[in-house]
């Protein structure tokens, strides 16, 4: 297969498996999505979706959030991990949204990335999922699969994002990055990986990855 054929096979397979793809983090608007994505750093979506209802019951907008102290926010979000940093970030960015953006989340990469505790990946998720602006946020699943499929070097997520944007059509980015995440969870996980069920990697994957898989199975 040529690289173009591999890309087409990947897109076609993902579209068959996930014609409609849900957003993993529960939210109702750009602000609650921003907070949920921030909380998901080094945590699981399942854990975040258990905690955000508790937080949003108390404060689901920046005006109510700043009425809470950093410590009160921290107590609620403690189960997701990194709560000292995340609680400061949530309180700080909520105040900035009030002061600079009339309480609204800006649909702008630079503005989002200037907010406390908001990095490029978080900004990309919000731009993609809340505002439908083409973006390709790279999480651990996408990083792993882009390497397994031979689409990226696996050096770092910055390079993986560049490679993904170069290979895949821009109008597919927003749906495709979610499709790859779901595929990685269900068919190509880091642990308990069964290559026979992983049709994309088995068909187009990096030979060294496939050989290593079978070597470790012996």
Considering the domain 30-129, what is its CATH architecture? Orthogonal Bundle (1.10)
With respect to CATH, is domain 3-20+137-217 assigned 1.10.1660.10? no
Return the active site residues.
121, 139
Which two tokens mark 199? Answer: 């049709």
Is the alpha carbon torsion for 178, 179, 180, 181 positive or negative?
Answer: positive
Supply the pLDDT for residue 195.
97
What is d(CA 63, CA 136) in angstroms, rounded to the nearest whole number? 30
Over its length of 218 residues, how does the chain's per-residue pLDDT go in tens digits?
A: 999 999 999 999 999 999 999 999 999 999 999 999 999 999 999 999 999 999 999 999 999 999 999 999 999 999 999 999 999 999 999 999 999 999 999 999 999 999 999 999 999 999 999 999 999 999 999 999 999 999 999 889 999 999 999 999 999 999 999 999 999 999 999 999 999 999 999 999 999 999 999 998 87
The single residue listed with the structure tokens 């990083």 is: 143
Which residues of the chain form CATH 1.10.340.30? 30-129
Which residues of the chain form CATH 1.10.1670.10? 3-20+137-217
How many residues can be counted in the chain?
218
pTM as predicted: 0.91
């Amino acid at each position: 297969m040529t690289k173009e054929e591999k890309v087409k096979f990947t897109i076609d397979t993902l579209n068959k498996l996930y014609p409609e793809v849900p957003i993993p983090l529960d939210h109702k608007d750009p602000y609650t999505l921003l907070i949920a994505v921030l909380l998901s750093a080094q945590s699981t979506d399942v854990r975040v979706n258990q905690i955000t209802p508790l937080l949003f019951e108390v404060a689901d907008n920046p005006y109510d959030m700043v009425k809470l102290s950093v410590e009160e926010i921290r107590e609620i979000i403690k189960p997701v991990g990194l709560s000292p940093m995340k609680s400061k970030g949530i309180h700080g960015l909520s105040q900035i949204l009030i002061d600079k953006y009339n309480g609204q989340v800006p649909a702008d990469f630079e503005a989002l990335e200037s907010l406390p505790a908001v990095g490029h990946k978080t900004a990309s998720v919000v731009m993609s999922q809340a505002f439908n602006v083409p973006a390709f946020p790279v999480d651990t699943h996408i990083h792993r699969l882009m390497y397994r499929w031979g689409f990226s070097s696996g050096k770092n997520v910055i390079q993986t994002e560049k490679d993904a944007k170069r290979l895949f059509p821009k109008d597919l980015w927003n749906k495709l990055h979610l499709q790859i995440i779901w595929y990685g969870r269900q068919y190509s996980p880091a642990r308990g990986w069964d290559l026979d069920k992983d049709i994309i990697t088995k068909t187009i994957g990096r030979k060294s990855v496939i050989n290593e898989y079978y070597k470790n199975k012996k």
